Structure 1
Amino acid sequence: MKEQTIGFIGCGNMAKAIIGGIVKSQLISSDRIIASNRSEEALESVKKLYDIRTTTDNKMVAKEADLIVLAVKPYVYKTVINEIKDLVNKHQIIINIAAGVSIKQTEAMFGKKLKIVRTMPNTPALVSEGMTSISPNELMIQEEIDDVVAIFESFGKAEVISEDLIHAVIPVSGSSPAYVYQFIEAMADAAVLQGMPRKKAYKFASQAVLGAAKMVLETGLHPGELKDQVCSPGGTTIEAVTTLEEEGFRKAVIRAMNTCSEKSRRMTEDNDE
């Protein structure tokens, strides 16, 4: 990635995760990163951690950055964009990380055509295991898309997808850590019921989920094939799998993801109004 200045408007947990990934991977030098926030305390914290430049002035970020990450809550987007839109030019790249705010809506807020990338990172970015979708608009060239992918791969994995798939991305990636936490908690509760101390139960359950996910990613095998490898004939695992099927495990997951997707669509529609 060529030496550019990356600016962050907003300095919450996701912004910190992205900044941390960039700095730790040495994608660019820390003095080429600038972040703004209303809270000087928040800025002092991130400056101490990563030795970046900070300011309470969003306009300074807009003036200096080649890539601008809008790392604020969706309901603040319009306010922030109104503040900086006259300072942003066609050569800069706007990176949107908000749920429910489309490329079209972002363009409308700026009131002009710009290079815009809609992304959807998830919270495991905080431990450098994030998964991010990257949806660039038609003004982005391949080199610029590659630069954005490199930023998000500095703290996990990233894939370029069409924006019309965002309502599939949100339930399968953006929101799914919450389902996994529920699954881990349920498994730990069952282990505690069998007499295992709770702290150990969480460790066993969490490592099992981590290891299973790594098996899928690294072997390239179908999850069903990996499941079959664990299910010995007449064994304990097939008993558990059968019970999950009887209780509607798959159906519950699919229904939950469908409702998540529908909520995402409604949020986008609401922002059109």
Structure 2
Amino acid sequence: MAYWVYILRCADGTLYTGIAADVDKRAAVHNRGRGAKYTRSRLPVEVVYREACPDKGAALRREYRIKQLSRPQKLALISIYQRKQGSVMKKVAFIGTGNMGGALIQAACQAVGPDQVVITDRDAARAQTLADQLGCTAVSGNGEAARQAEYVFLCVKPQVMAGVVGELVPVLAQQRDKVLVTIAAGIRIATLRGWLEGLDYAPAVLRIMPNTPASIGMGMLALTGEPEAREEHFQGVEDILAKAGRVERLSENQMDAFSAIAGCGPAFVYPFIEALADGGVKVGLPRQQAMVYAAQMVLGSAAMVLETGKHPGQLKDEVCSPGGSTIAGVAVLEEKAFRSAAIQAVEAAFHKTVELGKS
């Protein structure tokens, strides 16, 4: 989990250094008088410096080093940071604010701060509404969004990706420090590179496959890139997605299979939850209670698989008593080919993803 070192300037001009997973939220705590004892009598405070660290331990070490600096040295550090903020790109731009793009935008605003996020969409009103909600910046046009940021996330449908990439070529020709990140199912990095005609260099291109639970920080995301992709680029994307959920690096030839499970999977699970709730209503539970019971059960069962490391079959056996009600229900699922249907759903999603990548 990414952590940040930050410096606050207090109302009396003094400086306070701390660490936090979310700097803006922590600053708000300080300004409510619930932060460090030092800042309580020096309100209001403002964030004048922030630095990303890979984890809490690294942040604590960096905080210690900054605290050892003299005040002039700290002011110099702040000055360099603020000049950089005024002249350098924002951290990330998102082209496309649909369901999946919106989920990632929300996570990015939490991870790197809304001031570092710029968004755009062909539906300008939708982009502006989302920007107003999250505090990030909406701009007009894909080229303008790409011009303003270091990392450019392409969150559009596979069918329109070629046209969007083509719009970015003039910007990429002028600014060589961009990192393109595509979330389109089925489109390989080599295919995207083929659309970057006219460039005399090869921009960094990474590919992620997210899912919608990323919007609440419980996503399952895959990240891949070409063998020559730099570690700093992988780390940069992981920092941006730090609040989205679990990120795994995969080889590109595994991405379509991953998408069929983790990307499409939520849409397979939701009808299951609904059906369980329907069953609960049928046997006498109120609808809302049945829905909560079913959803919480699925959440807890998934956590059991992840946290215990046990095989799902073993966990299933631990619930089933000989001659009991659970095994009776499991027998019905087997009779109705529940597992076979789930396997076929993944296979169908996989083949469709491959097909989309070829179109």
| TM-score in same-fold range (> 0.5) | yes
Aligned to 2:107: 21
* Superimposed CA distance per residue, residues 103-158 of structure 1 (whole angstroms, 9 cap, x where no aligned partner): 11111111253211111111112322211111112332112212212322311111
Shift of 1:96: 0.3
Aligned to 1:221: 310
**Relative CO higher for 1 or 2, CA cutoff 8 Å, sep ≥ 6?**
1
Report matched runs for 1:170-209 at 5 Å: 170-209=259-298
Aligned to 2:44: none
Which residue among 221, 238, 247 is the counterpart of 1:132?
221
1:126 aligned partner, one-letter code:
S
Which residue among 144, 147, 171 is the counterpart of 1:87?
171
Partners in 2 of 1:84 and 1:6 — Cα distance? 15
Contact kept in structure 2, 1:17 and 1:128, CA below 8 Å: no
Aligned to 1:50: 134
1:18 aligned partner, one-letter code:
L
What is the DSSP-based 3-state SS (H/G/I as helix, E as strand, rest coil) of the residue aligned with 2:171? Answer: coil
Residues paired across the two proteins, number: 268
Contact kept in structure 2, 1:115 and 1:139, CA below 8 Å: no
Shift of 1:65: 1.2
* Superimposed CA distance per residue, residues 238-259 of structure 1 (whole angstroms, 9 cap, x where no aligned partner): 1111222222211111122112
Contact kept in structure 2, 1:18 and 1:155, CA below 8 Å: yes
Aligned to 2:187: 101
Partners in 2 of 1:152 and 1:23 — Cα distance? 9
Shift of 1:62: 1.9
1:13 aligned partner, one-letter code:
N
Contact kept in structure 1, 2:104 and 2:241, CA below 8 Å: yes
Contact kept in structure 2, 1:13 and 1:126, CA below 8 Å: no
Alignment CA distance shift 1:248-1:39 (3 Å): closer
- The runs of 5 or more residues in structure 2 that have no matched partner are 1-51, 54-84
Stretches (4+) displaced over 3 A: 1-4
Identity among equivalent positions (%) equals 35
Contact kept in structure 2, 1:114 and 1:139, CA below 8 Å: no
Partners in 2 of 1:183 and 1:32 — Cα distance? 38
Aligned to 2:251: 162
Partners in 2 of 1:28 and 1:153 — Cα distance? 9
Shift of 1:161: 0.4
Partners in 1 of 2:320 and 2:203 — Cα distance? 53
Instruction: State yes or no: 1:253 paired with 2:339.
Output: no
- The runs of 5 or more residues in structure 1 that have no matched partner are none
Shift of 1:91: 2.8
Which residue among 149, 152, 157 is the counterpart of 1:73?
157
Contact kept in structure 2, 1:39 and 1:56, CA below 8 Å: no
